Amino acid sequence: YYNGVLRAAEEYMVRTPSDIEEAKTISSIKNIDLSTSIDLRGRPTSTPKNTFTQDEEKIYASVEYKDTPKDTTFEAKWIYLKKDNLIKSYKRNMTGSGNFAFSIDAKTDSWLPIKKWPKGDYRLEIYLNGDLLKEVNFSVK
């Protein structure tokens, strides 16, 4: 105010330490790629994609993370959407920065006798500390 007249206003938000820590956790996941092969560091060696064939036995999810706060729990769920079928889940604690990968394998995780992925739509759900962070949709043709 200047001479009793509002001349400028600025909004602000007060964040608690837990709000700041939660924001750091959410922003720590930098990239999630799906592919059919990875290197020893968990990075894709084939072109990342979201459409696979029934003959591709393994589907990898490669996760890049940076400055993840201590005691962060990462969880992933592979889901076949047509039957809302949980194929496999993966869970780990993570902190700091790096890459890691995890996969589903048609020979061990497919419920079909032919041990191939059924055609259709799938989803990879990513959770941090129990909260859904991201959904990655993909399909098998």
What is the tens place of the pLDDT at every residue in 60-85? 999 999 998 888 999 999 999 998 89
Structural Rg of the chain based on CA atoms: 20
> For residue 21, is pLDDT > 80?
no
Chain centroid to Cα 36, Å, comes to 16
Per-residue pLDDT of 37-49, as tens digits, reads 999 999 999 999 9
Q: Percentage of the chain with pLDDT > 90?
A: 69
Chain centroid to Cα 126, Å, comes to 4
Give the integer Cα–Cα distance in Å for 135 and 103: 16
- CB burial string 53-62: b at 16+ within 10 A, e below: eeebbbbbbb
Whole-structure pTM value: 0.81
Q: Can you tell me which residue has the tokens 């060696």?
A: 45
Which helix (H) or strand (E) segment holds residue 29: the answer is strand 29-35
Instruction: State residue 130's pLDDT score.
Output: 93
Q: Identify residue 23 by its one-letter amino acid code.
A: A
Tokens of 35: 């592919």
Region 22-50: mean pLDDT is 88
